[in-house]
Copies of this chain bind each other. A is one copy, B any other.
């Protein structure tokens, strides 16, 4: 099944591109990227060790509040001290968890060509996620619906530089107890990239896994061979793990699926006001989650995560793409390397609209994630209002930056042929290289082809309607959606879910854990 799809996928891209007209969807070379730059530190090694050490003290001496009794028991069985809902985790327990947590994880996808090794050095991008609202120039800002959710999936699927799927827009028109059916059906029907499952309680999680096995026709063994489902777990900073999150960690771990343990530490609000302090809290909470996963099942795939930034001290509003955000990315990268695990970071913007602030903040976070060598960068495109809104024009514009980073991750050669002494000799002083053989041989592929950037001059631009990059982006996403064709096998995969979903819906679905 999986193999068959692989053979057919060569033609997919051509069909899709033809359907999408002139929109360049990115090179297939973007599919699997390694970080081009050496990881950059913000702290000395001693300081990193000191943060790690203090995080261990936090877990040992201050403890973490765990609301789910089952999780308290798991911690207790692993040797942690539990007093009411407070869990105190000794450093030996943490050390053992870090010993059993895998450093490299096979991230599966319906299409094997879209698999990744989730490991240090990999550079994996995902779109903005978790947004209750959506905005675009055609429909304005509005609460998200299933239609918007699906449109966002189509866009994620279409561009090569987006490597895994995410819930960009929350489909608020689908009741929560049925929502996981709709989101999984849509992923199966429209995409062939790595899948996500929301951790909203045991019922939904297990049904999510079941739908993946059904849709992709996987045996239990197939399902445990690598990771088919991923979810992000946000602890409630400071020092609290709520019920669905703790249950999610346990359930994903026991099923051999990946939780990405990501404290959301906003310095000055739910975390200390300093970069080092916020990171210490982040680190303690992430370690607590990793420990829970390893106690639930030693060797379970689990990712370190960091999404720390600062707040605006005037309004308390979260800020993104700030210098502090980048510092925390760099520090988080150091901490992830200190414990030897792959990790996730995030970009994003606090801007309300598609302006230079929005572009600048997101670019800052993307470069920060790049220099911090984040394995996975979430919210890499389209995330506005600190995650309250997914912007379609923003998504398209952010892709330009992502594709730029992808290009930098591809090899650049300086062979004698590339250097081109003969071409230099061929063109006289004051001449030009437009017609040189060296140019003619290469010009069609020499440069990155912009997605939304307009390089024409003021006169031509004005004559063409003086459209800024947000306006141009509207035409791009509309064209991509209009020409969208699901990947081969997607219809069949979704079809295999129909009976299951119909039955489960009739039986009342699965209520989320509160």
Contacts and interface: CB of A to CB of B under 8 A. Distances in A.
Contact of A327 (B141, B408, B428, B429): B408
A3 interface: no
Nearest to A319: B455
Contacts of A326: 404, 408
Nearest to A50: B414
A425 B62 CA distance: 6
Contacts of A461: 352-353
A258 interface: no
Contacts of A357: 359, 397, 400, 452-454, 468-469
A23 interface: no
Interface in A220-276: 236, 238-240, 267-276
B414 A47 contact: yes
Interface residues of A, number: 125
Interface stretch (A180-188, A337-345, A430-438): A430-438
A65 interface: yes
Nearest to A57: B421
Nearest to A367: B367
Contact of A272 (B58, B275, B276, B420): B420
Contact of A444 (B275, B313, B327): B313
Interface in A393-439: 394, 397, 400-401, 403-404, 407-408, 412-416, 418-421, 423-425, 427-434, 436, 438-439
Contacts of A57: 421
Contacts of A495: none
A457 interface: yes
A189 interface: no
A446 B310 contact: yes
Interface stretch (A34-42, A156-164, A297-305): A34-42
Contact of A418 (B274, B430, B433, B448): B274
B470 A420 contact: no
Nearest to A65: B429
B469 A355 contact: yes
A274 B419 contact: yes
A500 interface: no
Give how many copies assemble into the complex.
2
A443 B273 contact: yes
A277 interface: yes
Contacts of A470: 355-356
A354 interface: yes
Given A353-B468, A458-B388, A281 B424 contact: yes
A281 B267 CA distance: 48
B62 A269 contact: no
A378 interface: no
Contacts of A408: 42, 323, 326-327
Contacts of A203: none
A360 interface: yes
B273 A455 contact: no
Nearest to A446: B273
22 contacts: A36-B40, A47-B413, A64-B429, A141-B458, A236-B430, A268-B434, A269-B432, A269-B434, A273-B433, A274-B446, A284-B424, A311-B447, A312-B450, A315-B455, A317-B455, A318-B455, A327-B412, A352-B461, A355-B356, A355-B468, A360-B363, A361-B453
Closest 4 CB pairs of A and B: A323-B407, A47-B414, A65-B429, A276-B414
Given A65-B430, A273-B439, A313-B446, 11 more contacts: A38-B38, A47-B413, A276-B415, A277-B438, A280-B420, A317-B456, A319-B447, A323-B408, A327-B412, A351-B469, A357-B452
